[in-house]
A = this chain, B = another copy of it.
Amino acid sequence: MENTDPAPPGRTAFADRALTAYLETLPLPRARLGGGAGDWRVEEVGDGNVNFVYRVLGPSGSVCVKQAPPYVRVAGESWPLTPERVVHEYRALEEHGRAAPGALPAPLHLDRDRHLLVMEYVEDHTVLRHRLGRGALHPGLGEQVGDYLARTLFATSDLALPAADKRALVAEFELNTEMCRIMEDMVFTEIYRDFHRNSWTSPELDAEVAAVRADTCVLIAAARLKDRYLTSRQALLHGDLHTGSVMVGATGSRVFDHEFACFGPMGFDVGGFLAHLLIAYFAADGRRGTPSPPEDEQQAWLLDQVEQTWDVFRERFLALWRSSGRGDSYPAALFADARGAAALEAERGAYLDRVLCDSVGFCGAELMRRLIGFARPADLTGITDPGARAACERAALRLARSLLVDASGHRSVRDVTDAARHARTG
């Protein structure tokens, strides 16, 4: 989760000494750190809103400790939240990590009683959103995230898994109910009503927000996507894949913060990530202050990353299906001869067309809720001039609506980037 309030200072779950003494008892973290507790230093890593996150530095390396209090950290005990979220985060790190080693921090230890996990500390990486907010690019981004999406979503789907293994995983992640509820409420429901946590650039966008809430095509599309989030168990999702859940560095990208992990429609992850690239695209205009018709270099690059993310996701997913489609769905044995193989190959394309349609819809839903809901991203809230902010948000709202209400009309990712350009120029 993200919001724009700064984290209150000084709230910590652990005395440093207690944490290092505890880590000394854990073989994997101890080995990474080197030396003993006396050689280790603890730093709180400040910018998460929900949990306590620490970096612990030792002579040979660092580990990252994430501890989930039974509430939202920045809100305190007034906003209770199950600490079990950390268990699902850890398990998702394991399942996704197996599918895409190196694309996320390596999980090192889970403590179910203390609601705490230890993972690899990712050195020399920056949260992608911060980087984009400074106008920077990260070469290879779409390729890296598209690859992560293909590997993790394929590996946890019925295309890869025997049904018995898949059903056991579904049963396990079904228990991440409270975190799913946050998405059900925040993404698909609260923004379409009068709700105390909603916020938008007011009064500039008041009329637009009123229009969204009165727009029955938008309401129905959002409700239909909510139904899909509630009823589909297609793959194990990251569940909150935005540009604040990706760190980038010289060696690539790392995806983290899997506390919303659940089984759901693949398009929820794919579309969610695309939405945040598109937010950065519109926000770039807001930062410049004046509407400037030609796209800047970052904007052109961002749309290119939208296309790259989808194209790489699609190609790698297809390649994995061809080479490793050993799950119970689309049983390979039925399509063994040449005609069968050709028919299955065509169906693979149709399957990914359906994932694209879902992705476009969820992208629209995510854009919408990040523009007028509770968790507005720093890309937008960091634009100090309300007029400039409203102008770029208005353009993004136009895109959000078109993706939401006409998801199936966008038959390729090129249709999405075209629609973004079109929305930007009014």
Contacts and interface: CB of A to CB of B under 8 A. Distances in A.
Interface of A: 157-158, 163-164, 166-168, 170-172, 174-175, 177-178, 180-181, 184, 189, 192-193, 214, 216-217, 219-220, 222-224, 226-227, 230-234, 328-331, 333-335, 339-340, 342-344, 346-347
A167 B163 contact: no
Nearest to A174: B171
A240 B168 CA distance: 22
A163 B192 contact: no
A168 B164 contact: no
Given A163-B230, A223-B330, 18 more contacts: A158-B230, A163-B180, A163-B184, A166-B230, A167-B175, A167-B177, A170-B233, A171-B171, A171-B174, A189-B331, A193-B333, A216-B335, A216-B339, A216-B340, A216-B343, A220-B347, A226-B328, A227-B329
Contact of A174 (B167, B178, B181, B184): B167
Nearest to A329: B227
A329 B223 contact: yes
Contacts of A163: 177, 180-181, 184, 230
Contacts of A217: 343
A220 B219 CA distance: 34
Given A170-B170, A214-B339, A232 B230 contact: no
Nearest to A346: B220
Nearest to A166: B230
Nearest to A165: B177
A164 B174 CA distance: 9
A337 to B, nearest CB: 8
A108 B171 CA distance: 27
B174 A174 contact: yes
11 contacts: A163-B181, A167-B180, A170-B233, A184-B328, A189-B333, A216-B340, A217-B343, A224-B347, A230-B328, A230-B329, A231-B232
A333 B185 CA distance: 12
Contacts of A340: 216, 219
Contacts of A344: 220, 223
Contact of A189 (B170, B181, B220, B334): B334
A198 to B, nearest CB: 14
Nearest to A333: B193
Nearest to A222: B334
A90 to B, nearest CB: 18
A33 to B, nearest CB: 37
Given A177-B164, A230-B166, A192 B334 contact: yes
A328 B187 CA distance: 13
Contacts of A168: 174, 177
A328 B189 CA distance: 9
Contacts of A177: 163-164, 167-168
Contacts of A219: 334-335, 340, 343
A223 B339 contact: no
A223 B334 contact: yes
A158 B232 CA distance: 11
Contacts of A170: 170-171, 174, 233
Nearest to A347: B220
Given A232-B232, A329-B226, A175 B184 contact: no
B230 A231 contact: no
Contacts of A166: 230
B193 A181 contact: no
Nearest to A330: B223
Max count, chain B CB within 10 A of own CB: residue among A167, A172, A224, A343 = A167
A232 B170 CA distance: 12
Contacts of A172: 171
Contacts of A328: 184, 226, 230
A333 B190 CA distance: 10
B171 A343 contact: no
A138 to B, nearest CB: 33
A175 B171 contact: yes
